[in-house]
Amino acid sequence: MTAGRFEIDPDIRVAATLPARVYSDPDAFTLQRERIFARTWQYAGHDDLVSVAGQVCPFTLLPGALDEPLVLTRDGDDRLHCLSNVCTHRGTLVVEGAGHLQQLRCCYHGRRFTLDGQFHSMPEFEGTAGFPSKADDLPPVSLAQLERFLMVALAPAMPFDDVAGPLRARLAGLPFADLVYDGAAAREFLIEATWALYIDNYLEGFHIPYVHSSLATTLDYGAYAVELERYAVLQLGIAKPGERAFALPKGHRDANRSVAAYYFWLFPTTMFNVYPWGVSVNVVTPLAVDRTRVSFLPFVWDEGARGEGAGSGLDRVEREDEAIVEAVQRGVRSRLYDRGRYSPTREGGVHHFHRLLAEFMHG
């Protein structure tokens, strides 16, 4: 398989961008399933989904890429769990819908599990030797929390704190406890392009003056800043004079600049866009090599600030991004295009992402 072999020079000044086949080759996508998505932290939801003891919430992790049936539970001791939702008997799904339960009971032959995933009971198994054993429990899945947001990983290559540490530090003090999920304003976009092109586009503000004329009127292009972390990229949108910005307390490291938006990307598929009104979580779901779903999930702490500045008009910005990313997908299939070069001043985030792709796809 050649899809996995490519180099991205660590020096952005001499580096070439990702080979075009990585964006369009089904083999590359197959490789990414196990080498990237199964080994990294993915967004699973917010804590209201399982806010009281006994609440359960089944979901499929990355449908189309991982298709892993999982279930979130909160047990009687108020502890959160993420478990495999596949019965350890003959493999049917255990929990069919969200609700409140005392135990998890498989509907096929009645095997029961406690809410922390331990085997509880099973009819007609008296004669089975060495039963039950550890293997009859529902396998636990790594679960981590970032403020109100739940992240899970099947076989994480890194502890979650290595991914989210910089975000936690930067946003400490913001009123996450006040966040209210606005489901009515949530949006899903289906994009005819590979997930990595959507990430590329997200990781640079270079295109803002060309693609987003409305956003360009609120942000100071010259002051736009990018910071690279081991498994994350932070972009800071700086407000033009008079435009809406955070009122940060004295002593905050960004107190001397007019931050309109923090755009945090966590490798590989999660974005936390933090605005004066709250947080827009963008979840990128790779459905196929050339099909991606992007979910915009708004969590609000200040409704009054919602119509202003870089955090307003997000639907329009998304449509503009979608159109450009779909055009790139058509372009990278060309026989006449392979790789480009990076702008050292504007494309540090894209280069960093490509380095991570190379690192993980090489295994």
Site residues, Fe ion (CB under 5 A): 321
Q: Is 5 in the site for ligand FES (CB under 6 A)?
A: no
CB of 98 to ligand FES, least distance (A): 19
Mark the segment that binds ligand FES (CB under 6 A) among 3-11, 71-79, 105-113, 196-204. 105-113
The Cα 156–Cα 42 span in angstroms is: 10
User: Is residue 295 a contact residue for ligand FES (CB under 6 A)?
Assistant: no
- Best CA proximity match to 221, nearest among 234, 239, 241: 239
Report in angstroms how near the CB of residue 119 gets to ligand FES at its nearest. Answer: 11
Question: Is there binding between residue 89 and ligand FES (CB under 6 A)?
Answer: yes
Q: Smallest distance from the beta carbon of 190 to Fe ion, in angstroms?
A: 17
108 contributes a contact to ligand FES by CB under 6 A: yes
| 125 interacts with ligand FES by CB under 6 A | no
Nearer CB in complex with ligand FES: 136/308:
136
Out of 79, 100, 109, 319, the residue judged to bind ligand FES by CB under 6 A:
109
Give DSSP secondary structure letters for 64-111: TTT-EEEEEEE-TTS-EEEEE-B-TTT--BS--S-EE-SSEE-TTT--
CA–CA gap between residue 237 and residue 226 (Å, rounded): 9
**Residue 137 touches which member of ligand FES, Fe ion, none, C-beta under 5-8 Å by kind:** none
Question: In this structure, what token pair is assigned to residue 353?
Answer: 């992402």
Should residue 118 be labelled a site residue for ligand FES when binding is judged by CB under 6 A? no
- Choosing from 81, 111, 212, 351, the residue that interacts with ligand FES (CB under 6 A) is 111
Using the rule CB under 6 A, give the single segment among 12-20, 89-97, 137-145, 346-354 that binds ligand FES.
89-97
Residue nearest to Fe ion (CB): 321
Write down the least CB distance from residue 55 to ligand FES, Å: 22
Q: Segment contacting ligand FES (CB under 6 A): 83-91, 179-187, 193-201, 309-317?
A: 83-91
- Give me the phi and psi of 130, to 5 degrees please: 60, 30
Angle at 228 between CA 176 and CA 277, to 5 degrees: 25
321's contact among Fe ion, ligand FES, none, with CB below 5 to 8 A by partner kind, is Fe ion
Taking the CB of residue 53, how many other CB atoms lie within 10 A of it? 15
Give yes or no for residue 95 binding ligand FES (CB under 6 A): no
Residue 319 binds which of ligand FES, Fe ion, none (CB < 5-8 A, kind-dependent): none
236 in helix, strand or coil?
strand
CB 74 within 8 A of CB 145: no
Dihedral sign for Cα atoms in the order 240, 270, 6, 166: positive
H or E segment to which residue 55 belongs: strand 55-61
- Segment holding 209, helix H or strand E: helix 208-211
Angle at the Cα of 260 from the Cα atoms of 259 and 261, rounded to 5 degrees: 95
Binding site for ligand FES (CB under 6 A): 87, 89-90, 92, 106, 108-111
